Amino acid sequence: MSDFTSGFWSIFIASVTILSILACGLLLWFSGKARAMTAHDNTTGHVWDGDLREMNNPLPRWWVWLFVITIVFALVYLALYPGLGSSAGQLGWTQIGEYQKEVDKGNAAVAPLYARFAAMSPEDMSRDPQAKAIGERLFMNNCSQCHGSDARGSKGFPNLTDGDWLHGGTPDKITETLTQGRLGQMPPMAAAVGTADDVKNLAHYVLSLSDSPHDSLRANLGKSKFTACAACHGMDGKGNQALGAPNLTDDIWLHGYGEAAIVAMVNNGKVNQMPAQGEKLTEGQIKVLASYVWGLSNHVAAK
């Protein structure tokens, strides 16, 4: 109910709920007071199958009290817990709060396990069988959906095993990425580059930076247009990890390869986001996970 911008729906739901409970109580009361017209033998006069007669007996007391208890329970429940529109209830119970209690309980249970890794370096954890096993499980549960179970990524999702890092591949940088997340954005640059033909020439120049197949004539024409890209990628095209701008000289293509893919990128831009894990994972979990990810591209041999 908190998602509604107007208080009308909260009041409406609360009113309908209260009126429905009160209506049930009134119906129970009137049914107990009302008396149907009966014959001298306490039957209503309705007969089925020749000799099956409908009696006019009141509801058993235990049955009536079940209805009363249900109504009282509903009123007490709605006073204590959320249910009346946007009312939080007297106990302040929330699903988020209940979830957080379970998370805190689970984190407290595994805290001694992660305490063992607190003084270990990323290199040591990359060699430690237990740390690697835990890191792999954390990766499978939280990262593999995008980067793949083998961490080799896919189109739009970086390969974590090749040593090519947009924001830096040190353990500290990986920890920062995991904790805070990343938002990568390349704005549409077609207007700054020039005509559609200029964009194609630029695409071939970008391909030439990594010695990828390209049209050398178009690449020469597009070199001067690269100044529109140099602010982020550098004049040499080697990128800028402080900005998350990719290296265009290493023949690693995150969003696709070839003239068409680069032209689309220049024309349309691109926004990529990695969600922050800092509120989801504990500090100890992030440290183990960061060491595991670091080890994927550094291949530290076990002692």
Q: Does 193 share its domain with 265?
A: yes
pLDDT at 302: 45
- Report the pLDDT averaged over residues 181-207: 95
pLDDT at 56: 72
Are 171 and 290 in contact by the 8 Å Cβ rule? The answer is: yes
Band the pLDDT of 173: cuts 50, 70, 90.
Answer: very high
Q: Does 284 share its domain with 236?
A: no
- What CATH number is given to the structural domain containing 145? 1.10.760.10
Given a cut of 50, whether residue 260 has pLDDT beyond it is yes
Strands (E), 15-55: 43-48, 52-55
Separation CA 42–CA 198 (nearest Å): 99
Q: Does 16 share its domain with 126?
A: no
pLDDT at 4: 55
pLDDT at 303: 42
Q: Does 270 share its domain with 191?
A: yes
Residue 89 domain flag: no
Separation CA 123–CA 41 (nearest Å): 93
Phi and psi dihedrals of 179, rounded to 5? -70, -50
Domain range for 199 is: 185-274
The two tokens of residue 251 are 């023949």
What is the number of structural domains in the chain?
A: 3
Q: Does 200 share its domain with 264?
A: yes
> CA separation (Å) from 207 to 105, 117, 195, 228, 253?
53, 44, 19, 16, 10
Residue 172 domain flag: yes
Given a cut of 60, whether residue 300 has pLDDT beyond it is no
Q: Does 169 share its domain with 288?
A: yes
Q: Does 41 share its domain with 151?
A: no
Residue 37 domain flag: yes
| Range name among 53-62, 81-90, 192-201 with the lowest pLDDT average | 53-62
Task: For residue 221, count CB atoms less than 10 angstroms from its CB and return exposed for 0-12, middle for 13-18, buried for 19 or more.
Answer: middle
197/92: higher pLDDT: 197
Q: Whats the size of the chain, residue-wise?
A: 303
| Range name among 49-63, 134-148, 234-248 with the lowest pLDDT average | 49-63
Residue 94 domain flag: no
Band the pLDDT of 40: cuts 50, 70, 90.
Answer: low
pLDDT at 204: 97
pLDDT at 230: 94
Residue 38 domain flag: yes
Strands (E), 4-143: 43-48, 52-55
Given a cut of 50, whether residue 301 has pLDDT beyond it is no
Q: Does 41 share its domain with 57?
A: yes
- Report the pLDDT averaged over residues 224-245: 94
Q: Does 279 share its domain with 151?
A: yes
